[in-house]
Structure 1
């Protein structure tokens, strides 16, 4: 692995870890601060997650693009492969590994911060066609948003736009919008408000991958030259020549 790719992957690892720590940690805090009021707990969880995501995109966007999501990275690679933009195959492998391991680390970190066992498999079953449909919708919408911002030259708004979308999707999807395979896997490691049972993970991940395919089809129809902006997803990261100095 080159030094540049190592920097990108480390940013994806830490960024995804902090994102999951925010999701799990705020969910745990909400459950403790607002016992008996699930609606308020979800609101607190959604707001904290939206703000944390925006801040993390600002922090790590200039380093790795701040994908934090294997579906976003995979679509970036797929669209950019013929135009020689976006991630390469080796980049995609490194990003995905960093995102998944980072998500697990973030869940462990949140557990420890709240004086819980480092790993406690979630007992919260999340399964059913309605939830899988919600994940398709949430993931497709997220990916289209990200590439629409890049293609139209509005990546400066990505922290606010992506954070707002995820915060809203907590409420307009029945699954509370995981929309991210790495985050889904990480959330299986905590038996708290934000957890998902390991047996429910495959269904969510498959739905999220389908959402990515739907997004590719939508982008082909609405943004036929989206591949030209693949280097700017989610936010433009520093040129390799600049980083090597």
Structure 2
């Protein structure tokens, strides 16, 4: 990953789930298309998927979090061919431990890695702020929704595929929210997870699109397609 520096204020923000990275004008060449690029060195590096073709001008970006015990490659695989069809960059992050930091005591390391990775992407690609989304499956869904509403001044959309909860913390902006959940989920039961998460977010005033499907703890392609529709080019 490029050598980057962060202010003390930005580093302090990581402890509450706040991100400092913001889209802007690229200052470095884009990475080659049609490939998955590791960002940084060593194990557990973020992966950036660059589709075979990108639209002219500003491009959409999706951050994707894996479920507990998984990894970025499997998280990307869950999206199928949607990133190519949507001409969308996908940034997949690896949790430091078996699952995400906030599920193990509080925000910190994983937020810092995301901030570094986002900053590196913004240095190379002109990301469209209107089509900047954060998503995840299972524990990654809980993490995506939690960070999405903590950073609604950065993310336009927060997507939770079969989430378990939303963490307490700061609320910034009003991102659009998408939640899907299987009615037969035995790992994160729908009544106390997907339905409850949606109800709580709506009570807080968020506009939530909520879809249920027949099945268990899985991510059907149709749910991916429905969620990523928000990354289509804006009308006009």
Shorter-chain TM-score category? under 0.3
Greater RCO structure (CA 8 Å; 6+ sep): 1
Bigger share in strand: 2
Bigger share in helix: 1
TM-score normalised by L of structure 1 = 0.26
